[in-house]
Amino acid sequence: MLANLKDWMQNLSRSVSIVLRRLLLAGVSMHKFIISLICCLLPSFAFADSPEIRDNVPDRYIVVKGDTLWDISARFFKDPWKWPRIWGMNKDTIRDPHWIYPGDVIVLDRANGTLRVGEASSATASGTVAIKLSPKVRGQDSEHGAIPSIPVADITPFLSQPLVIEENGLSDSPTLVGTFEQHVILGNDDIAYVKGLTEDKGIHWQIYRPGKTLLDPDSKEVLGYEAIYLGDADVEKFADLSTVRITRAIQEINKGDHLIQTSGVLTSNYVPHAPEKQIVARVISIYGGVSQAGKNTVITLNKGLRDGVEDGHVLALYRKGETVDKNLTLPDIRYGLLFVFRTFDKVAYALVMQTSLPVELLDRAQTP
């Protein structure tokens, strides 16, 4: 998409240069030309930013439970990440997408290339159904009944867990040092003893084990360490060696594992949008330790807050073109989209939203 835009701009620049020379030779003043050029270009720039409507799409769609705003956008448009343009939102309203509910009627405005929320009224005399477009005041619905931006179930576990820790981030945390009846492996409802717990941080804790090192494939900088989530524990008695009970175990828990204070679930109130600047990242990890990922899989990128990545960013996935011989390399292949849902300083976690190929380690993710 960016390459097409660059070509379009280059062609436009050449055309403007030719016209400018001709007009100047004809005696047309520069300021009149510039004013005329701006008037002519405004529609062109608006068109270039407009998402493309899919072929044979209906004029309306009734929202059902289980829909997401991403899915609805993709139903009508080929570029679902152009969120503000599709829904006619501005920077003041883009942060709150909770306004569409099951039963709402989504109407496609083909003239403006946008979607609107309407409501079906009674049939007209001609037999067609009239759609009334007007603001709604909901007296009983809350944001909990609104459809989400993306599939929340796929990312909720990743919003309540640290995922990435700094170097030595677990070494100073409370440590599981013993088990009741000397159990080697702990599971649900087992008792354990922990060193380093204090009452001021509450009774609810999560259990972790240090995971693999996250290394930048280009600079070789250590970006952080994955924290492997093992389960949850509640404190039953505070002491030098506090007593805890395992309330949830999703993996085997052993002596030497660490406890981190439970944090509240982060917001899942996202609005997909492309970054305002060029961002180029690499896939450095796929959740679960596998080498390939498909749709709705969580992956880790080697860019984070310090690089301008933010929650809600949509990035395009690229696979490096194959080298046919020493002098010929095929073009890179764009094959999917990622949605960034949680960012740390040096890395970010993203959900694979669309893909025509398996996502592989070291694939490129960049501004679409």
Out of 15-29, 73-87, 240-254, pick the least confident. 15-29
Phi and psi at residue 128, to the nearest 5°:
-85, 160
- What number is the average pLDDT over the span 101-122? 80
Highest mean pLDDT among 95-104, 131-140, 328-337: 328-337
Among residues 76, 138, 77, the alpha carbon closest in space to that of 103 is found at 138
Q: Average pLDDT over the chain, rounded to whole?
A: 79
- Is the model's pTM score more than 0.75? no
Degrees (nearest 5) of the Cα angle 360, 363, 368?
125
Q: Is 204 helix (H, G, I), strand (E, B) or coil?
A: strand
pLDDT bucket at 327, cuts 50 / 70 / 90: confident
CA atoms within 13 A of residue 179's CA, in its CB half-sphere: 16
The pLDDT, as a whole number, for residue 81 is: 79
pLDDT bucket at 190, cuts 50 / 70 / 90: very high
Using an 8 Å Cβ cutoff, are 57 and 76 in contact?
A: yes
pLDDT tens per residue, range 332-348: 999 999 999 999 999 99
pLDDT tens per residue, range 268-279: 667 788 898 999
Could you give the domains of the chain? 60-149 (no CATH), 161-261 (no CATH), 280-366 (2.40.10.410)
Residue 254 confidence (pLDDT) above 50: yes
Tokens describing residue 154 = 């796929």
pLDDT tens per residue, range 7-28: 444 555 555 454 444 444 445 4
pLDDT bucket at 352, cuts 50 / 70 / 90: very high
Residue 45 confidence (pLDDT) above 80: no
Residue 120 confidence (pLDDT) above 70: no
